[in-house]
Amino acid sequence: MSLLVVGSVALDSVETPTRRRDDVLGGSAVFFSYAARFFSPVYLLGAVGEDWPAEHTRMLRDRGIDTTGLQVIPGGKTFRWRGKYMPNMNDRETLEVHLNVLETFDPVLSPELRKAKFLFLANGTPALQTKVLDQIDAPELVVADTMDLWINIQRDELLRVLRRIDGLVLNDCEAKLLAGDENLVRAGQAVRKMGPKFVILKKGEHGAMFFGEHETYVLPAFPTPDVIDPTGAGDSFAGAMMGYLTEQGNFEPATLKQAMAYGIVVASFTVEDFSLDRLQKISRPEIDRRMAEYHRMMSF
């Protein structure tokens, strides 16, 4: 099985109540692919500018991530985001966004990438996601992410995307906005009826919620006392989930639930340091040990 992610590759500047880091590696496709690689091979499709540090590409390649789809745009600048987290480490303020090459990114799938069986459309414009869907041959599972910006300004285009995918990942506030309902259960069910076979709502420190045709359930977050930087946690969740599904070669209900649990566990590592710093220090056995602890926590 093969897994392809299409999304942003970025340089982030992050400020928390106690620390600050500038120009660290970030982007939805980066966090996703690094987390997914604990479980399966993954192809990354994205774009960067000439200011992109070559050592970041080498690090991703050394990790086993296929970066042949990472386009370096001549004369362009890499997507940059600068944000500040509030004392509760849940709420954050975006201070600066420079789309740069991401604004004109035109994803072109090679013949090899067109054959990917598992596809994740990381957060991006519905138009970009549609371009990828138009090129992929016969995927077995397509899951997408979205955000409030596209819900507000490109709702019709987003709704057309939802009718072409199997699963949607978004946070609880975005689900309420998309459904026009403040009740989270009704909102999740309403979004699923817009097209996806299943919907997963990310709830930050409160875990994740699953809505399928025949079942709804909530998985709590792993209790992590040392939250240093929440950036990328949601993308790491999605990456681990999709990586596990690719490893197993199916997305049956039981497999999906286990995949979500792995996503929650890997995200709990991500928040323990800036950028990929914590993920770079762990291995699959450490993830499995925390997963076993998570299972014991859930048993009663």
**pLDDT one-digit tens code per residue, 188-209:** 999 999 999 999 999 888 899 9
pLDDT tens profile 11-58: 999 999 989 999 999 999 999 999 999 999 999 999 999 999 999 999
Q: Any idea which residue has 């994803």 for tokens?
A: 107
| Mean pLDDT on 270-279 | 97
Domain of 173 in residue numbering reads as 3-298
Instruction: Return mean pLDDT, the chain.
Output: 95
pTM summary value? 0.96
Q: What is the DSSP string of 219-255?
A: EPPP--S--S--TTHHHHHHHHHHHHHHHHT---HHH
Q: Would you say how long the chain is, in residues?
A: 300
| Res 88 pLDDT > 90 | no
| Mean pLDDT on 218-240 | 95
Q: How far apart are CA 118 and CA 182, in angstroms?
A: 32
- Residue 149 is predicted with a pLDDT of 83
Q: Which two tokens stand for residue 296?
A: 């014991």
| Res 160 pLDDT > 80 | yes
Q: How far apart are CA 166 and CA 161, in angstroms?
A: 10
| Mean pLDDT on 92-103 | 90
- Residue 176 is predicted with a pLDDT of 96
- Residue 128 binned pLDDT confidence (cut-offs 50, 70, 90): very high
| Mean pLDDT on 103-107 | 91
Q: How many domains does the chain have?
A: 1
Q: Could you give the C-alpha distances from 110 to 69, 116, 132, 184, 197, in angstroms and in order?
A: 8, 10, 11, 40, 28
Q: Any idea which residue has 């992050």 for tokens?
A: 14
| Res 66 pLDDT > 70 | yes
- Residue 180 binned pLDDT confidence (cut-offs 50, 70, 90): very high
- Residue 94 binned pLDDT confidence (cut-offs 50, 70, 90): confident
- Of 277, 289, 196, the closest CA to residue 236 belongs to 277
- Residue 91 binned pLDDT confidence (cut-offs 50, 70, 90): confident
DSSP annotation of 195: S
- Residue 124 binned pLDDT confidence (cut-offs 50, 70, 90): confident
- Residue 1 is predicted with a pLDDT of 61
Cα of 120 vs its chain's centroid, Å? 8
| Mean pLDDT on 163-181 | 96
- Residue 97 is predicted with a pLDDT of 87
| Mean pLDDT on 172-195 | 96
CATH of the domain at 172: 3.40.1190.20
Q: Are 192 and 200 in contact (CB under 8 A)?
A: no
Percent with pLDDT over 90 in the chain: 90
